[in-house]
Amino acid sequence: MSFWIKPKSFLLKTILLGAAVGIIFYLLQFILVLASQLGFSVYGVRNRAIEEVVTGMFMGKIIFYQVRIALAYATLGIFWGTLSGLFWYFTFNRRLKTVPQILLNLVTLAAVALYFLVRSILNYPQLYCEAFFNRGGFLRDFQVWVTDSLSASLLNSLGWAGLLIFLVVVFWFMLRKILPHLSWVQVYKPLRIGLPLLLGLVVALVLIPRKKNISHNPHLNILILSADSYRPDHIFGNGYFRKTTPHIDELLKESVNFNNAFTQLPRTFPAWVSFLTSLYPAQHGIKHMFPTIEDRDREWVTLPTILKEKGYRSAVVSDFVGDIFTRIDLGFDYVDAPYFNFVTLIEQRCLEIHTFLLPYLNNGLGRGVFPVLNGFAYLTDPARLGRKTCRSIRKLKDKPFFITVFFSTTHFPYPAPYPYYKEFTDPDYDGTYKYYKRILLDPKERVSPEDIAQIRAIFDGATLAVDHEMGHIIQTLKEEGLYRNTIIVVLSDHGENLYEKDWGMGHGDHFQGDVSTRIPLIIYNPYERYPVPQIDDVVRSIDLTPTLLDMMDITIPGGMEGVSLLPLMRGEVESLHLTSFSETGIWYTPEGDEFFQHHRIWYPDITELGEIDFDSNYEIVLKNQYRDLVEMAKHRVVRNNDYKLIYMPTRAGVEYELYDVKKDPMEDHNLADKLPGVRDRLKGELFDWFTHTGEGIIKNDFVIPIRGGIEVDLEIN
């Protein structure tokens, strides 16, 4: 046993030296990042006032969080440094001098760091644009080379090869040490028999079909497959020219497809509350993305709460944009979504600058240590949500369930992962929007026709990525024996402007065109085949909950504004003659070249409108002093099967636009003055809606908010 004494002592020294080199190597990366990327920005936009608030009030939290990040770097250094030291110790099987050990460890650590960085850049290039692509020069060329020249299969092969080399070196070292007089022939003979047997066992384990634990749940379940900013006219089965939705197209063959479904407010938070309560925003009180705790803390009657009384368990799974589900209790039993407040915004910024650390964190352990990763806008991989949703299905499958998955990848900045971000894009494009749509809040942004084509292409890539995971989830239903007793709904909270005409980009700012208000609504019912697969009648997001309840023979509670769409689906009526009413959200910038900026009532940008609610966990809420002005300034729209009337309050008075949506779907001809009878009729319906929902009272065509039964006195700037 004396053979082990000296090597064991030297082995310990080798491990300690490798760990020390690793710690120094990774902490140097930490220091380099801090020295080069300090500053606070949101979507690449910096604001000095916000930076002063952050540094003045949250410096302690920033320092504490950076210490946590430094510890993560050090932990990586210990892990990889130790493995590096062991590798070279096993390789040489003899003592190395200190300097060669240090040099070999540094080379190994650099190779490991480069591998993980390149692999992560290839899979999630949006996450690294600030550090590489946006800086230009060599850094930009490096990122472009990685994404345009390498493949995931190549990098995965290199990773497995590295692991195999390490294991072979360790195995051979142990053989030589344990059996020093064993010849290669003596080793080869048992391996010649053992390796094929081992390989056969591995192949058998992989190829032998696993027995499925088929569910015996006979109840009718509900699954909502949703994605933010999902556009129905970008679904291939609806006539789109790109094959963006192969799995949804298959579902369409057994479903009812509503071609004219409209959201009541094209922003995520109010749209989802309207979906689940069947109330207009003016009635449920969530009218923008920054409601106060008083707006949110209510006893909600929602689809999940109604189903819970019938024995259902419910879950919602989301990332990035799904933070709304953690800020309001809508009755879900399980909420798997990130939380958002001003502190998480700071933590995200503290972490996203660490380019050299991020490649190691996109896994269960990394997200457990740094939960803010779940809310990263540039790291919304649909595959993660797909896996989590499938786990939820398997967890809840033995009882009736209602599961909602809400994908973020189709929301700005459209950060589709590999290979989807280049599925439809021009390989020769090398402009600003190569990987994602950057800088939402810049009113001076200019885009060329080539830029617009690229932005639409990356949006379609994001759509394809989401469709792939929707297909994975549907396949899981089939494997678990649940497909034939689960209602499946495909929908979105709103659409998205993608530079059609002069409509700009985004959603919730105006009502020119239908692309931001029209949503996909596809309903599959395994227990009933409907005779009308395509429905062109106008329906609303508030009609979803009553329809689902009616399909399940559950009484629709009184007070809901929506109606059941079953008569349409069954062909019992040709039209329900519904009218859709919608309103805009908050305008985030006070000025710009967008047309709606010249047809609005002015108020400050979001940095002035919002404030931190220190009594409600540092959440960002709308300042009370701007609440009524924001409400009064909103654009509204009334839309039926034939016409669309847009209401736009301005400093000079209220402007109206009227369009014949059947003859003029691109809204080129304003008929407000040519068809005064139609205009006034729709205006009357709009004003009746204002009164019915408690939005306010009408004075000189302006909507004047009412608070506590008292008319609000406002000055229009």
pLDDT confidence of residue 57? 78
Residue 133: burial class (beta carbons within 10 Å; 0-12, 13-18, 19+): buried
- Lowest mean per-residue pLDDT among 172-186, 427-441, 442-456, 504-518: 172-186
- By the 8 A CB rule, do 43 and 440 touch? yes
Summarize pLDDT for 453-470 with one digit per residue, the tens.
999 999 999 999 999 999
Fold of 221-569: Alkaline Phosphatase, subunit A (3.40.720)
Spatial separation of the C-alpha atoms in residues 178 and 272, rounded to whole Å:
65
Q: 187, 11, 137, 169: which is closest to 85 by C-alpha? A: 11
At 493, list the tokens: 């909270």
- By the 8 A CB rule, do 671 and 680 touch? no
The DSSP line for 200-235 is: HHHHHHHHSPPPP------S-EEEEEEETT--GGG-
pTM: 0.92
What's the Cα-to-Cα distance from 466 to each of 248, 472, 643, rounded to whole Å? 10, 10, 33
At 633, list the tokens: 């300034």
Residue 524 has pLDDT above 50, yes or no: yes
> What is the architecture, at CATH level 2, of domain 595-711?
2-Layer Sandwich (3.30)
Summarize pLDDT for 184-221 with one digit per residue, the tens.
555 556 656 666 766 677 676 666 665 555 555 668 99
Can you say whether residue 229 is alpha, beta or left, with left for phi > 0 and alpha for psi between -120 and 50 degrees? left
Spatial separation of the C-alpha atoms in residues 351 and 398, rounded to whole Å:
40
Summarize pLDDT for 301-359 with one digit per residue, the tens.
999 999 999 999 999 999 999 999 999 999 999 999 999 999 998 899 899 999 999 99
Coil, strand or helix: which one is 586?
coil
Summarize pLDDT for 224-250 with one digit per residue, the tens.
999 999 999 999 999 999 999 999 999
Q: 150, 151, 126, 124: which is closest to 417 by C-alpha? A: 124
Spatial separation of the C-alpha atoms in residues 84 and 97, rounded to whole Å:
15
Summarize pLDDT for 118-158 with one digit per residue, the tens.
999 999 999 999 999 999 999 999 999 999 999 999 999 99
Give the helix/strand (H/E) hosting 159. Answer: helix 152-178
Tell me how many degrees the CA angle 653-655-657 measures, rounded to the nearest 5: 175
Q: How confident is the model at residue 88 (pLDDT cuts 50, 70, 90)?
A: confident
Residue 394: burial class (beta carbons within 10 Å; 0-12, 13-18, 19+): middle
- In this prediction, residues 168-178 reach a mean pLDDT of 71
Q: Which residues pair with 433 in a beta bridge?
A: none
Residue 3 has pLDDT above 50, yes or no: no
What's the Cα-to-Cα distance from 537 to each of 287, 293, 534, rounded to whole Å? 26, 37, 9
Mean pLDDT of the chain: 90
Residue percentage of the chain with pLDDT more than 70 = 88
Spatial separation of the C-alpha atoms in residues 85 and 92, rounded to whole Å:
11
pLDDT confidence of residue 2? 41
Spatial separation of the C-alpha atoms in residues 529 and 601, rounded to whole Å:
49
What residue ranges do the domains of the chain occupy?
2-207, 221-569, 595-711
Place of tokens 């709606």: 596
Q: Which of 81-90, 196-205, 283-292 has the highest mean pLDDT?
A: 283-292
Residues 581/586/592/598 CA torsion (nearest 10 deg): 40
Give the helix/strand (H/E) hosting 335. Answer: strand 334-336
- Lowest mean per-residue pLDDT among 5-19, 252-266, 425-439: 5-19
- By the 8 A CB rule, do 513 and 501 touch? yes
Q: In one letter, which amino acid is 712?
A: V
Residue 415 has pLDDT above 80, yes or no: yes
- Lowest mean per-residue pLDDT among 6-10, 114-118, 249-253, 588-592: 6-10
Q: Give the CA count within 13 Å in the CB-facing half-sphere of 112.
A: 23
Summarize pLDDT for 683-704 with one digit per residue, the tens.
999 999 998 988 888 888 998 8
Spatial separation of the C-alpha atoms in residues 307 and 302, rounded to whole Å:
9
- By the 8 A CB rule, do 558 and 543 touch? no
Spatial separation of the C-alpha atoms in residues 477 and 367, rounded to whole Å:
27
- In this prediction, residues 108-127 reach a mean pLDDT of 97
Task: Give 53's contacts (C-beta < 8 A, 6+ positions apart).
Answer: 612
